[in-house]
Amino acid sequence: YFDEIYNEKNMDRIKIFKGDITKIEVDAIVNAANTSLLGGGGVDGAIHRAGGIKILEGCKKIIAEQGGCEVGEAVVTTAGQLPAKFVIHTVGPIWYGGNDDEKVKLKNCYTNSLLRAKEFNCKSIAFPNISTGIYCFPKDLAAKISVETIKNHLKEDTEIEVILVCYDDENYQILKKEMEN
């Protein structure tokens, strides 16, 4: 009985939203970056364009310190002109057909981003559907991994609220179904 209440309470802290992650007012938004941290297309391009030069400056500082960011890891910069306070840059795996530990790597992206958020005292975080664009990770599998990883994390982190931001309609429909399960 208590388990049920506990889980319902956890579910209240994951929401899905359809739209542009750069517009969302949360403590941290997550960027689906690449290992160079120097920007790119997709959501990465949108975040750098909307947030301005301060984000790239933050990335360059991290590059100078540690050379970039590994797949599955996450690093934090300012959010520049965005409504969020921080951008958490994580690097999703490129889908190579499932034989390159892609699932574990994607799970690590969510876990490490949530851990960075906690370190930076964030009470809310918004994720894009990491790896499901240019990196071709299957959307249904990515949705399962993201929801499961976040739900598990919410058992430990009893404060943070998570928004899964879907930009394309396909991901939105998939995530909506996944959340109903």
Nearer to ligand AR6, 68 or 92 (CB): 92
Three-class secondary structure of residue 150 per DSSP = helix
Kindly compute the dihedral angle of the four CA atoms of residues 23, 29, 35, 41, in this order, to the nearest 10 degrees. -10
Of 14, 16, 21, 160, which lies in the binding site for ligand AR6, with binding defined by CB under 6 A?
Answer: 21
Q: Of the listed pieces 56-64, 98-106, 113-121, 161-169, which binds ligand AR6 according to CB under 6 A?
A: 161-169
For ligand AR6, the binding residues in 134-153 under the rule CB under 6 A are: 134-135
- Per the annotation, the verdict on 168 as an active-site residue is no
Q: Contact at 8 Å (CB) between 93 and 108? A: no
Taking the complex as a whole, how short is the minimal distance between the CB of residue 11 and ligand AR6, in angstroms?
Answer: 22
Of 42, 52, 62, 111, which lies in the binding site for ligand AR6, with binding defined by CB under 6 A?
Answer: 42
Instruction: Using the structure block, give the residue that is written with the tokens 């007012």.
Output: 25
Of 14, 16, 26, 32, which lies in the binding site for ligand AR6, with binding defined by CB under 6 A?
Answer: 32
C-alpha–C-alpha distance, residues 159 and 55, integer Å: 26
For ligand AR6, the binding residues in 80-99 under the rule CB under 6 A are: 92
34: Cβ contacts below 8 Å, ≥ 6 apart: 40, 44, 91
Q: What sign does the CA torsion over 143, 144, 147, 153 have?
A: negative
Considering 3, 20, 44, 101, which one is annotated as catalytic? 44
